[in-house]
Chain A
Amino acid sequence: MKRIIFIFLILLVPGGVLSSQLQKGWNSPAEKDRLFSEIANAATKVTTLKSDFVQERHLGMLEDVLISKGRFYYKKQDRLRWELIKPVTSGFAVNGKQAKRWDGKSGRTQRFEVYQVPFIKLFTDQVFAWATADFKQLQKNYKIEILGDAPVDLKLVPMRSQEKEYLAHFRIAFSIDASHVNAVEVHETGGDFTRIRFFNTIINTPLPDTLFD
């Protein structure tokens, strides 16, 4: 579960600030610190995020790749919406302590307080914490490697033993101009992996509150 959360958290890291910094020698500790510090500063400028996505789930139990399409919305400080559109319609929205989730097939909508559903609680706690791009904390739990500069490509390898049992690594790729996250990959220890490609990403566009209610 945490691995999935991590993907979304990474989405909040603004990529535009990175492109000018991509120079050789970035994997040195001093350069990493400087780079992450700039990302953290840039994160404070993001007030909203809107993005379409395509999720590819490569699972050994499936003959075909499981493909789903959807939209992701974030609004500072404590609102987000994760919405699947195809082939199933489902999702959840969080507005502060209130949340709802829905299932298109059954037509059921459930309203609840965030703490009542542990998965959503964990998800939102992490998203809102990551909105501040706390790389210090991140580096305590993951070994972060910068793989490339065009586009920016980060690899995060877990260091906690419990996480290492199921998670091999993450990859986060930014767009060519590094203005937004382009793709996230979660590689599991068993070989399965999930890739989410984001497109039509718009930063700081006005988002109606009704999206999150």
Chain B
Amino acid sequence: MPIFTLFTKIYNYFSVRRRILYSATLLGIVTCILVFSSIDLHEDIRSMLPDDRSEAALDFRLLQQAPFTRKVIINLSRAGDNDSSELLEAVDRLAEAMRSPFFTNVVTGPSGPDIWELFFWLMKKQPNLATAQDRKKILHELTAEGVQGKLEEMYARLHSPEGSALKGLFRLDPLALRRMGLEKIQFMNIIPGMRLENNHFISTDNKNALIIADTPVRITDTRQARQLLSYFQKLVAAVVPGDIDVSLISGHRYTLANTDTIKRDVFIILACSSVAMLAIFLLFLRTWGGLFVYLVPVSVLCIAAAGVSLIYETVSVVTIGFGAVLLGIAVDFALHVYFAVRHNSSNPAGAIGQVSRPVLFCGMTTLAAFSVLLFSSLPSQRQLAIFSMIGIAASMILSLITLPHLVRAKNEAIVSTKSSGEKIFKLASKWIVGAWLALLVICAWQGAKLSFDGDLRSINRVPQEIHTAENKLRQTWGNFRGNAVIFTEGLDLQSALETNERLFDYLSPKIPKGKMVSLAPILPSLGTQRLNQDRWNELWSAKKELARRLLVQEGRVFGFSARAFEPFFTRLAEPSPPITAENLRKSGLGEIVDALIISADDKVKVLTLVPDVPEVAALMDRRDKTLAAVRFVSQNRFSQIISRAIGEDFTKFIAKASVVVCLLLGLLFRNIKKVLLALVPVVSGLLFVFGVMGGLGIGFNLFNVVAAILIIGLGVDYGILVVCKISEGSNHATEKAVFVSGLTTLAGFGALVMARHPALHSIGVTVLLGIGAAIPSALFVIPALYQKKYEQSKTGNSVIGSR
């Protein structure tokens, strides 16, 4: 059965059962409105990242395991003098007040014994830690001159006020071997700008202190995140003096900021686009039937949202924000039906039959264009595709089945008038084509500069206050949250530690001191510890007597007794049990060990932190085969991967959408010339977007990709309608319908441009540019290129300006 016959029959069937039709439609819409109103909107960065087994997805999962990523970081700062006592008191009070269920494991400093105990622990563990290089150094200094220098320094310090406190240390370690341990522990300094005061994390300028806490509240849970922040603000007001500034940094703040922005944007966008559409209807439709046209996209929005909520557990606020776009698309079909029916009021069933073909094809091409996004690796793009496809399908059904009954004219005469537009087409067709070609060439030239922006921060809204707090944290404590992370994985801790050592040996000579955080110097694998111990024992078996002789001989010069350093030799003879992660925890390094060792899924990962700079990335690229299994993950690299993925997705989706659309056009027109003409708005729209964005240096992000698909879907609709109108001489006020539907689409996207959220804003800008170019090219360029046929069509149909 031909399509136009089907919809004519449906129209005729319901023309005597309108109450049933209206009731069923109303019931469906009301149900969807109810579902829509109960949707729990979420803003989750994960929805904007690949969830497949791609490199980006893996990197993102690993980045989530980096130290501090899931922690709540609280910075307390106090201006004025350097007396830290008040600041530390406030830290203790606040930490004490931070309780479950919002905060767990609140840490204000190292949990273990004091720094002196750690120091002595390190000395005892020297046999396990001393490397071949350390051995070389010891031998180099084990000379009369070397020992004399050490003893002289020690002698001078014994005179000083702290001499009595240090004498025990000197007896245990006259050769100052402890310095090797101190060099190793520098690699554990996870927060560069930190020092310890009374076991508190305090900044070197004495004006800032840190609290680090865990929270069971998921970063994506906006409701609980809001409660957490509110609870924290109350605590601060209650226990922290007014002259101490407190800032909390965690993913929760970003989530709330983004969600609030998007919710506000959605309200403004929907309000503005609704008002703009109403204005367009009042200008161009001005009938009671027009009101129903207006209601189609509103209903479609509810239907699409309800449909998505049935498929997905959570609905992204970005998806709902995309509703404005859907409003713009959905109204197009309704407009075409409206104009067709109103224009052919004497035979609405026939008009429906005629208009159903281009409308269905428009809908199918748009559906097909969006369907390619179903294969995206990004959940947000897939959800947008589902949302759009449900909306488009619903819009087609409502427009072709219910709407014709609501908008049919009752004894209204249709007045056909000549359009001024026709004169423009006739007079300026050569100029139009020329100008259009020139524009395309310029846009293609500028479009070559188009770049892809994979930085997720650029599609997230970061309010100024969070930005300032982040900067302050970075300036005070160093960029400890922005390090690149290298993961070495093993089936057990020992195998991971072995790889970690190789990584350390490779990187440590190449990275400036103090810039790398690694467990390797303090927690070597058991095998390495045994090797170190053997080396140590061998060294002192051979050199113990030499050391004793030198210490006695040179010590005599300064008055040291012959047995002054006996504790040192006793220590050399003592066994040194292996260092374990548990030992380190007990020695006061628990927080660092837990941050750098992660056990999950029967595997152990050991983390190394390095600066996130191109030089280190290049070093990792050049690593040899023995380090092939380690994974280098960084924000910068992640952005590059996402940029590449967006670029690849873009090419892939554009190509797929173009192929699908071309196939459908081929099926519809079975004429290559018509297919090419129908593609004119698509090509114009896309090239215009690329040209303007490339020329202005605006990066193409993952939402621009969605917008590009939209340009294809909508652009081809305009092309189909105009080509149908010209080639088939159909009598449904096509130009006016295209013009008005274009205006409504622009109203929707115009509103998106007003969004403060970068994702919505970028969709708005892209589609505004694309559709802004597609509409005039459909209305002016296609007729100009297809002038002869157009002349024929307009003699039979006067359309523009008709009402």
A positions within 8 Å CB-CB of B: 1, 3-5, 8, 55, 57, 59-64, 66, 68, 82, 84, 87-88, 90, 97, 103, 105, 113, 115-116, 118-119, 123, 186, 188, 192, 194
Contacts and interface: CB of A to CB of B under 8 A. Distances in A.
A3 B82 CA distance: 26
B162 to A, nearest CB: 5
Which among A57, A115, A119 has the greatest number of chain B C-beta atoms within 10 A? A115
A5 B160 contact: no
B515 to A, nearest CB: 22
Contacts of B564: 61-62
B161 A63 contact: no
B164 A115 contact: no
B734 interface: no
Contact of B82 (A63, A97, A194): A97
A166 to B, nearest CB: 8
B159 A4 contact: no
B167 interface: yes
Contacts of A61: 167, 170-171, 560-561, 564-565
A80 to B, nearest CB: 12
A105 B152 CA distance: 10
B81 A62 contact: no
Contacts of B204: 116
Contacts of A57: 158-159, 163-164
Given A1-B165, A115-B206, A192-B167, A90 B561 contact: no
Contacts of B163: 4, 57, 66
Contacts of A119: 161-162
Nearest to B163: A57
A169 B678 CA distance: 101
Interface string B137-178: 000000000000000000110111111110100110000000
Contacts, number: 74
Interface of B: 81-84, 155-156, 158-165, 167, 170-171, 197, 204, 206, 556, 559-561, 564-565
A82 B159 CA distance: 12
A66 B560 CA distance: 10
A60 B164 contact: no
Which among B163, B170, B560 has the greatest number of chain A C-beta atoms within 10 A? B163
Nearest to B158: A66
A82 to B, nearest CB: 7
Given A97-B82, A113-B82, A115-B206, A59 B159 contact: no
Contacts of A84: 159-160
A66 B159 contact: yes
B101 to A, nearest CB: 37
Given A1-B162, A62-B561, A192-B167, 18 more contacts: A1-B161, A1-B164, A3-B164, A4-B165, A5-B161, A55-B159, A57-B158, A61-B561, A61-B565, A62-B560, A62-B564, A66-B559, A84-B160, A88-B155, A103-B156, A115-B84, A115-B197, A186-B164
B164 A194 contact: yes
Contacts of B171: 61
Contacts of A105: 156
A182 B202 CA distance: 41
Contacts of B170: 61
Where chain A touches its partner, the secondary structure class is: mixed
Contact of A97 (B81, B156, B556, B559): B81
Contacts of A118: 197
B167 A59 contact: yes
A33 B232 CA distance: 48
Contacts of A115: 82-84, 197, 206
Nearest to B81: A97
Contacts of A63: 556, 559-561
Contacts of A59: 158, 167
Given A62-B561, A66-B559, A82 B156 contact: no
A4 B164 contact: yes
17 contacts: A1-B161, A4-B164, A8-B161, A57-B164, A61-B170, A63-B556, A63-B561, A68-B159, A87-B159, A88-B156, A90-B156, A90-B160, A103-B156, A115-B83, A115-B206, A118-B197, A188-B164
Shortest Cβ-Cβ A-B pairs, 5 listed: A61-B564, A64-B559, A68-B159, A1-B165, A4-B161
Contacts of B197: 115, 118
A97 B559 CA distance: 38
A119 to B, nearest CB: 5
A88 B159 contact: yes
A192 B206 CA distance: 37
A4 B162 CA distance: 7
Nearest to B85: A125
A188 B166 CA distance: 13
Nearest to A123: B161
A113 B565 CA distance: 35
Contacts of A116: 204
Contacts of B83: 115
A97 B156 CA distance: 26
Nearest to B204: A116
Contacts of B559: 62-64, 66
Which among A61, A68, A115, A116 has the greatest number of chain B C-beta atoms within 10 A? A61
A13 B159 CA distance: 24
